[in-house]
Amino acid sequence: MHEFAITSQLLETVLREMEKHNASSVAEVHLLVGELTYLEPRQIRENYRLLTRDTKLANSRLKIVKSKGIVECSTCGYKGPIKVLTDPEYHLVYPTLTCPKCGFFAKIVRGRECLVKRIRMVV
């Protein structure tokens, strides 16, 4: 359900930018979504389609790029993909904040972002 709130905020951001640049419409919106946000691109696209209907964004295209989760360990210097555990009994997949190399705490350096990277407007 949080995809709806995120998409609503996305539209507010795009409409503000349109106003700043006196744009008449938008051709494309490029969104970067980190895998650790657990946002579902399919739901964001559907919400976008519904929320932009009958607006200046009605004919715009939403392009979503997913970024992988990356952690960094201050103990051993590892920087790379996050360790993911699975629990087949409950059908769960979840990331850990431990270093895949040494097992100590690792901080997330990428994968939690949800950013508007580009808006292609028609002025």
Q: Would you state the pLDDT for residue 63?
A: 97
Give the tens place of pLDDT for each residue, 22-68. Answer: 999 999 999 999 988 889 999 999 999 999 999 889 999 999 999 99
Q: Is 110 exposed, middle or buried (0-12, 13-18, 19+ CB in 10 A)?
A: middle
State which H helix or E strand residue 12 sits in: helix 2-20
Structure pTM? 0.81
Q: Would you state the pLDDT for residue 75?
A: 95
Residue 123, classed as helix, strand or coil, is coil
Tokens (6 digits) for 115: 């950013």
Tokens (6 digits) for 52: 């932009």
Domains of the chain and CATH, by start: 2-69+111-122 (3.30.2320.50), 70-108 (no CATH)
